[in-house]
Amino acid sequence: MKNHLTSEHIRILRESLKGHPREALFTVALLTGLRPGELLRLAWQDLDLEQRQLHVQNSKTKGGSRQIALSEEVVEILKHQQSQQMKLQLKVGAAWQDQDLIFTDDQGGALQLAHLLEDWHALLEQANLSQFPFHEVRATVRRALLASMVLELMGHEASAITLEAYSHGEEE
């Protein structure tokens, strides 16, 4: 059977992310299932914090973009990211490259995919977890959403054990 990120892996990752320089980026990925390229292209202008909406551009969807409703937790993470970014901008001063991006390098420039992947693998190592490819995060979110829908349709109560079984195609 293929290795999957489990709910326990997610718990360990979330714990390991506390205070990590990419905490906001990886947490948003774990909670939304956005593709790596979508995360790296997210701009503040795409975000409506009051309406809890995110306009994802350049995605692989038919129209090239889509709207995502954000949980309160994601909104709070993004507010914190905005605050941290403003502090970093003040610290860097004139060297700041204002590209309106939500997730940036230390100078405000576009974060490169290679650096995101390096940080991801270092995080997994720090958390003593197997090396999962970053795209497994999206697959995990998709499985959890599908399992949640199945639980609702079948009239089951959402328990971690049942959710884990359905999300991997196993019987309970």
pLDDT tens-place string over residues 83-116 = 999 999 999 999 999 999 999 999 999 999 999 9
**Can you give the pLDDT at residue 1?**
38
CATH number at residue 77: 1.10.443.10
Region 110-126 average pLDDT: 92
Is a pLDDT exceeding 80 seen at residue 149? no
Does 139 fall in a domain? yes
The sign of the CA dihedral 29, 16, 122, 103 is positive
Does 134 fall in a domain? yes
The range of the structural domain enclosing residue 41 comes to: 7-167
Does 172 fall in a domain? no
Does 1 fall in a domain? no
Q: What is the value of pTM for the model shown?
A: 0.79
Region 33-55 average pLDDT: 93
Does 2 fall in a domain? no
Lowest mean pLDDT among 67-76, 119-128, 161-170: 161-170
Work out how many domains the chain is built from and give that number. 1
**Can you give the pLDDT at residue 162?**
53
CB-count burial class (<10 Å; 0-12, 13-18, 19+) for 53: middle
Does 101 fall in a domain? yes
* Alpha carbon separation from 26 to 80, 94, 95, 130, 172 (Å, rounded): 14, 28, 26, 17, 30
Does 88 fall in a domain? yes
Q: Please choose, from the candidates 140, 141, 161, 158, the residue with its C-alpha nearest in 3D space to the C-alpha of residue 150.
A: 158
Q: Please give the DSSP secondary-structure letter assigned to residue 49.
A: T
